[in-house]
Amino acid sequence: MDNATRLQYLEAMGIDVWLPGTVTAPKQAPVSDAIADNTLPEPIDSWEALQAEVAPCTLCGLCENRTQTVFGSGNKNADWLIVGEAPGQNEDRQGVPFVGKAGQLLTEILRAIDLDREQVFITNAVKCRPPDNREPKSTEVETCKAYLLRQQALIKPKIILALGHVAAQALLNTDEPIAELRGKIHTLNDTPVVVTYHPAHLLRSSLDKRKAWADLKFAMQIIKNHQR
């Protein structure tokens, strides 16, 4: 896709392309309650060990229907850890997260804040495709969560962006809806977490695209202010 087409696409979504220095933060962001039982695993392991453990995982029933686990992709030293819900059919086939239409939109959203996929790390709350594209069950999310926490521990991102309610609820140990979780700085093991809509939702609901863009700008502002 060339730049002009990309700009048109973003404009149609109500997204202004981000330019350094143009971000306006919400006046004051409430901080959510700390979540007690998300503690990082000890001892901290290696990336290779974690990948080797995830690949043949049979800890939940999702292993029965998957083609392969989808560990995540991008920069393992990224500032941004982006967490979606679960691999879909395309991701299951290719072993890479967010490669379908929702993934295309995610790529464009990242470009709008001057990031490409190789600069961030993208993964999901669960690493295997749920059958028939159903939402992962809470037990599956719980079972897979240790992998996510270990990814966080190894990457040490400056910010975590939760895409959609499954990721947000998994990361924050809550059952609050997106509407309650957006616009706040949550934390997971001292890393700020910002919640926004899942790109698949944005493909269906244009009304929420501007809100998602506000969330991205909010996240940009947090990362700008964040000291490692």
Please report, as ranges, the residues that interact with ligand URA according to CB under 6 A. 84-88, 91, 97-98, 100, 102-103, 124, 200
Q: Give the nearer residue to ligand URA in terms of CB position, either 87 or 192.
A: 87
Least Cβ distance, residue 136 to ligand URA (angstroms)? 9
Least Cβ distance, residue 88 to ligand URA (angstroms)? 5
Least Cβ distance, residue 46 to ligand URA (angstroms)? 24
Least Cβ distance, residue 166 to ligand URA (angstroms)? 7
Q: Which residues contact 104 (CB under 8 A, 6 or more apart)?
A: none
Q: Give the nearer residue to ligand URA in terms of CB position, either 18 or 193.
A: 193
CA distance 12 to 185: 28
Least Cβ distance, residue 122 to ligand URA (angstroms)? 7
Q: Measure CA of the first residue to CA of the last residue in the chain; give whole Å.
A: 35
Q: Give the nearer residue to ligand URA in terms of CB position, either 18 or 60.
A: 60
Q: Which residues contact 68 (CB under 8 A, 6 or more apart)?
A: 55, 92, 95
Beta-carbon neighbour count of residue 177 at 10 Å? 11
Q: 224 to each of 56, 87, 94, 207, how far by Cα in Å? A: 38, 30, 34, 28
Q: Give the nearer residue to ligand URA in terms of CB position, either 124 or 191.
A: 124
- What tokens does 79 get? 């500032």
